[in-house]
Chains A and B, each alone.
Chain A
Amino acid sequence: MLEIKNLHAVVEGEDIEILKGVNLKVNAGEIHAIMGPNGSGKSTLSKVVSGHPEYEVTEGQILFEGEDITELDADERAHLGLFLAFQYPVEVPGITNKTLLREAYNTIARANEREELDPLEFEDYLESKLDVIEMKDEFLSRSINTGFSGGEKKKNEIFQMAVLDPKLSFLDETDSGLDIDALKIVSDGVNKIAGPEKAMVLITHYQRLLNYIKPDFVHIMMGGKIIKTGDFSLAEQLEAHGYDELQKEFSLNGAQ
Chain B
Amino acid sequence: MSEELSDEVKALESMIGEEYKYGFTTDVEYEEFPKGISEEIVRELSARKNEPEWMTDFRVKAYHAWKEMEEPNWFNATYKSPDFENLLYYSAPKKKPQLDSMDDVDPNIRETYEKLGIPLEEQKMLAGVAVDAVFDSVSIFTSFKEKLAEAGVIFCSMSEAIQEHPELVKKYLASVVPVRDNFYSALNSAVFSDGSFCFIPKGVACPMELSTYFRINNMESGQFERTLIVAEEGASVSYLEGCTAPMYDENQLHAAVVELVALDDADIKYSTIQNWYSGDENGRGGIYNFVTKRGICKGRNSKISWTQLETGSAVTLKYPSVILQGDNSIGEFYSVAVTTKMQQADTGTKMIHLGKNTKSTIISKGISAGKSNNSYRGEVKIGKKAHGSKNYSVCDSMLIGQECGAHTFPYISSENPTSSVEHEATTSRVGEEQIFYLMQRGISEQDAISMIINGFVKDVLKELPLEFAVEANKLLDVKLEGSVG
Contacts and interface: CB of A to CB of B under 8 A. Distances in A.
A78 B440 contact: yes
Interface stretch (A11-19, A124-132, A134-142): A11-19
Contacts of B434: 90-92
Interface stretch (B63-71, B153-161, B215-223, B445-453): B445-453
Given A50-B440, A84-B440, A95-B454, A103 B447 contact: yes
Contacts of A89: 437
B30 interface: no
A51 to B, nearest CB: 8
B438 A100 contact: yes
A79 interface: yes
A101 B443 CA distance: 10
A75 B443 contact: yes
B72 interface: no
- Chain A's interface: helix, strand, loop or mixed, by majority? mixed
B428 to A, nearest CB: 9
B73 interface: no
Contact of A111 (B8, B433, B438, B442): B442
A116 interface: no
A92 B439 contact: no
Contacts of A143: 455
Interface in B415-462: 431-434, 436-445, 447, 451-452, 454-459
Contacts of A164: 441-442
Contacts of A83: 440
Contact of A92 (B438, B442, B445, B447): B438
A99 B5 CA distance: 27
Contacts of B3: 12-13
B437 A94 contact: no
Interface string A97-129: 001110111011001000000000000000000
A86 interface: yes
B2 interface: yes
Interface string B1-27: 111110010000000000000000000
Interface string B47-71: 0000000000000000000000000
A155 B366 CA distance: 32
A73 B434 CA distance: 15
A54 B2 contact: yes
Interface residues of B, number: 29
A173 B443 CA distance: 23
Given A12-B5, A53-B432, A90-B434, A104 B456 contact: no
A74 interface: yes
Nearest to A103: B443
Given A100-B438, A143-B455, A164-B442, A13 B2 contact: yes
Scoring B2, B3, B447 by chain A CB atoms within 10 A of each residue's CB, the highest score goes to B2
Nearest to B451: A95
A49 to B, nearest CB: 11
Nearest to A163: B441
A75 B437 CA distance: 10
A230 interface: no
A61 to B, nearest CB: 19
B456 A94 contact: yes
A99 B441 CA distance: 12
A104 B452 contact: no
Contacts, number: 96
B440 A53 contact: no
- Chain B's interface: helix, strand, loop or mixed, by majority? helix
Nearest to B434: A90
A191 B436 CA distance: 26
Given A12-B2, A90-B437, A95 B455 contact: yes
A112 B372 CA distance: 41
Contacts of A30: none
A164 B438 CA distance: 13
B437 A78 contact: no
B455 A92 contact: yes
Is the interface on chain A under 10, 10 to 19, 20 to 34, or 35 or more residues? Answer: 35 or more
Contacts of A90: 431, 433-434, 436-437
A54 B437 contact: no
Interface in A191-207: none
B398 to A, nearest CB: 10
Interface in A177-217: none
B455 A74 contact: no
Given A86-B437, A90-B437, A94-B459, A107 B443 contact: yes
Contacts of A53: 4-5, 8, 432, 436
A52 B436 contact: yes
B452 A92 contact: yes
Contacts of A14: 2
A156 to B, nearest CB: 12
A160 interface: yes
Contacts of B455: 92-95, 143
A56 interface: yes
B480 to A, nearest CB: 15
A53 B433 CA distance: 9
A93 B2 contact: no
A13 B451 contact: no
A75 B4 CA distance: 17
Contacts of A79: 442
Contacts of B447: 103, 107
Nearest to B453: A94
A94 B428 CA distance: 14
B445 A75 contact: yes
A104 B442 contact: yes
Given A52-B436, A53-B5, A103-B451, A94 B442 contact: no
B4 A74 contact: no
A51 B437 CA distance: 11
Contact of A74 (B439, B454, B456, B457): B439
A83 B440 CA distance: 7
Given A86-B437, A90-B434, A90-B437, A54 B5 contact: yes
Contacts of B436: 52-53, 74, 90
20 contacts: A12-B3, A13-B2, A13-B3, A13-B5, A53-B436, A54-B4, A74-B439, A75-B442, A78-B439, A86-B440, A90-B433, A91-B434, A93-B455, A94-B454, A94-B459, A95-B452, A95-B454, A95-B455, A100-B451, A107-B442
Given A74-B436, A93-B455, 14 more contacts: A14-B2, A50-B440, A52-B436, A56-B4, A75-B442, A78-B439, A83-B440, A90-B431, A90-B437, A92-B437, A92-B438, A94-B454, A103-B441, A104-B441
The 5 closest A-B pairs by CB, nearest first: A94-B455, A13-B2, A12-B2, A78-B442, A74-B439
